[in-house]
Amino acid sequence: MGKAHIQEAIEKVVERGDKAFIPYIMAGDPDISQLKEQLLFLEKSGATVVELGIPFSDPVADGPTIQEAGKRALNSGTTVKKVLEALSSFRDEISIPIVLMTYINPLFKYGLSQFFKDSQAAGVDGVIIPDVPLEQRPLIDEHMNRTDIALIQLVTLTSPDHRIKRLAQASEGFLYAVTVTGITGARSAVSENLESFIYSLKKHSNVPVMAGFGISTPEQVKEISSLGDGVIVGSRVVDLLHQGKREEITQLIQAAVGTPASH
């Protein structure tokens, strides 16, 4: 469990010559009762780690696809509490690491200390809180201290150099390299500076570097995952899950991790 669990899961895939794949899904889309089965499906398809969103009414970093998923989840009554309760009830049946992606507001409301305590008990391995900048991290650290949960940092193409270094060194579990500027969502062109960006992150980081934002096809998965340790795909996975096109999710995952028969 915890930080080491995330890092080891990614390193294991990379060491055998493949790349890691982290799908993002929204907890409670369409209903929290389906979460267990959705996670089991992703695990069976080869996902290395799962990034699980907690819905929030003001998701400033989310693109339209994930905003819609968040609305469906909120409409079905999904809360921080319900997500943690659901995870607790079946966590021992799923072995891949789980990273919660949430904004800080719902956590304040829940109580920060209580959130980390309950997350640890529910088998959460890491968290991504995109609206808490590095400078505010002491606020969180104080409440996370007694847990083994990884705080994953995001670093963007437009971050200045000195900041990139600090973010890379501060990240736990893995470092999230944001490969396009702006909000989440599928896009077609791959940024030109990407290669040197990821290269410099690899140089500064003690944890694996995962690239995400705007990746939507198996070709992009192959191309971008080859630059670092793997990729994170959100909007496309959320869309395909919503449409019931699970075979295509499996294809995306296997473009990075290979087919089960190949390892």
- As annotated, the active-site residues are 51, 62
Q: How near is the Cβ of 92 to ligand IGP at its closest, in Å?
A: 26
Burial classification of residue 162, based on how many CB atoms lie within 10 Å of its CB (0-12 exposed, 13-18 middle, 19 or more buried): exposed
- DSSP assignment of 164-203 equals HHHHHHH--S-EEEE-SSSS-S--SPPPTTHHHHHHHHHH
Q: Where are the beta strands (DSSP E) in the chain?
A: 20-26, 50-53, 98-101, 126-128, 150-151, 154-156, 175-178, 209-212, 230-233
Closer to ligand IGP by Cβ: residue 63 or 123: 63
Q: Is the separation of the CB atoms in 88 and 36 below 8 Å?
A: no
H helices within 91-188, ranges in order?
104-110, 112-121, 137-144, 161-170
Residues in 3-62 that interact with ligand IGP by CB under 6 A? 24, 51, 53, 61-62
Q: How near is the Cβ of 100 to ligand IGP at its closest, in Å?
A: 11
User: Is 214 a residue that touches ligand IGP (CB under 6 A)?
Assistant: yes
User: Is 213 a residue that touches ligand IGP (CB under 6 A)?
Assistant: yes
Q: 106 φ, ψ to 5°?
A: -60, -30
User: Is 205 a residue that touches ligand IGP (CB under 6 A)?
Assistant: no
Closer to ligand IGP by Cβ: residue 123 or 214: 214
Q: Which of 97, 212, 228, 230 binds ligand IGP (CB under 6 A)?
A: 212
Q: Which of 38, 45, 102, 184 binds ligand IGP (CB under 6 A)?
A: 184
Number of residues that bind ligand IGP (CB under 6 A): 21
Closer to ligand IGP by Cβ: residue 117 or 187: 187
Hey, what are 43's tokens? 């695990």
What does the binding site for ligand IGP look like in residue numbers (CB under 6 A)?
24, 51, 53, 61-63, 66, 101, 130, 154, 184-185, 212-215, 232-236
